Amino acid sequence: MRAIYILWLRQLKRYVRSRSRIVGSLGQPLLFMVALGFGFGPVFAKAGNGNYIEFLIPGIISMSVLFTALFSGVEVIWDKQFGFLKETLVAPISRLQIMIGRTLGGATVATLQGTIVFLISLLVGFRPIGWWGLPGAWGIMFLMALLFTALGTAIASVLEDMQGFQLIMNFLVMPLFFLSGALFPLNGVPPALAAVAAADPVSYGIDGMRVLLTGSAHFGIVTDLLILVTITAILTTIGSYLFSRIQI
């Protein structure tokens, strides 16, 4: 447990010390909030769908968590290339503990990033239906962060260079986000798109946050939690296995 705590703390310290990383990662969510929130807001309202800011913000928060968690896997490749990972792997602790520590650290960082985006959203006019939903929303954020940190680590465990990771992220991250219903309602979409959204784990994280922050739902909170917990367990197991097979 001590080893897991140390690795978790190490990930957190990296995040806190990297002020440019914190500020830089807020640019895209802020752009989406302002450009889409106020740009498409009137059109969304005229279509009879209500306040677009309220609809959009859970998706933007989830986007921030998704990006931060997945790209935490880059650190595995970085540590591989510069020898830091070798120093960690030769320590007298199991690779499973290393994987758990890194995953918990990356998930904590992603949750903090999502919290910062939520606080910024309050400045652009977003208001949750009740503050009672915030603990549950943080729980959804952390569950999503665990899921995608484990996925990012699993991918990085089998890659050797940053170029390969960037290629996979471009073909994975953006489709996961844009096809999740983060920017548009899933009610009434073509069946093919509805099927893709139903297979996208990001959809359930966003839907769970919408339930808790705005009161609207597509799948339902029980389904959201069940899918997220199941996929998180599967990806954590796969990530642990792949991480344990890294050659040093």
Residue 109 C-alpha from the chain's centroid:
10
Helix H or strand E encompassing 35:
none
| pLDDT per residue rounded down to tens, the chain (248 residues) | 665 666 666 666 666 666 556 666 677 788 888 888 777 777 777 766 677 888 889 999 998 898 888 887 777 777 776 666 666 666 666 777 777 878 888 888 889 889 989 998 888 888 888 888 888 999 999 999 999 988 888 888 777 766 666 677 677 888 888 888 888 888 878 888 889 989 999 999 999 999 999 888 888 899 999 999 999 999 888 888 887 776 66
- H helices present in the chain, as ranges: 2-17, 19-24, 27-31, 37-39, 41-46, 52-71, 74-82, 84-89, 95-123, 134-157, 162-178, 191-199, 201-214, 221-244
Q: pTM (2 decimals)?
A: 0.88
How many structural domains are present in the chain?
1
Q: Which domain holds residue 236?
A: 2-244
